[in-house]
Structure 1
Amino acid sequence: MANSPQARKRARQAEDHRQRNASQRSTLRTAIKKVIKAIRVGDKAAASEAYKAAVPVIDRAAGKGLVHANKAARHKSRLNAHIKALAEG
């Protein structure tokens, strides 16, 4: 257990950061799942709308360091490729 005032404060801050990160990570995952769900149904319009809503969430998570920039780019690229494939197929 934290004994010094500094250690107590750091423990308090770590818990606050953990909860905030968990919430933002959950929001990120939910946004991605909404796009995936629309893609699975095959609704291109709904998938495009969900994607437009998800992109700022993904970018915000990457900007805050919640996920790596490359992971954010990978998610956006793959989701967009799936949506484009709906139009062709």
Structure 2
Amino acid sequence: MANTPQSKKRARQNESRLAVNKARRSRIRTHLRKVEEALASGDKDAAQAALRAAQPELMRGVTKGVFHKNTASRKISRLAARVKALG
């Protein structure tokens, strides 16, 4: 358990950051799931629209420190390739 005032404050900050990051991660995963569902249904237009919505969300996660830049780039690249192959 935190004893010093500084460690108590850090514990409080960690809890709030956890909640914010969890919400961001959930939002990003929702967008990715929508792309996956559009791919599974075979609807290229819906998949492209979902991918266009997911890309800025992923990159926003990078700037907020939720994901590493290469991780987001890899996910976008792989999804884009699958959407392109759908045609």
TM bucket, shorter chain:
over 0.9
Residue in 2 aligned with 1:59?
59
Query: 1:49 and 1:58 mapped to 2: Cα distance?
Result: 15
List runs of 5+ in structure 2 lacking aligned partners.
none
Residue in 1 aligned with 2:26?
26
How many residues of Structure 1 are paired with residues of Structure 2 in the alignment? 87
List runs of 5+ in structure 1 lacking aligned partners.
none
1:1-89 mapped onto 2 (5 Å cutoff): 1-87=1-87
Query: 2:55 and 2:5 mapped to 1: Cα distance?
Result: 41
Q: CA RMSD in A?
A: 0.7
Question: Following TM superposition, where does structure 1 have runs of at least 4 consecutive aligned residues deviating by more than 2 angstroms?
Answer: none
Deviation per CA, 1:45-83: give whole Å up to 9, x if none.
100110110011000011122111111001110110011
> TM-score when scaled to structure 1?
0.94
Query: 1:34 and 1:67 mapped to 2: Cα distance?
Result: 19
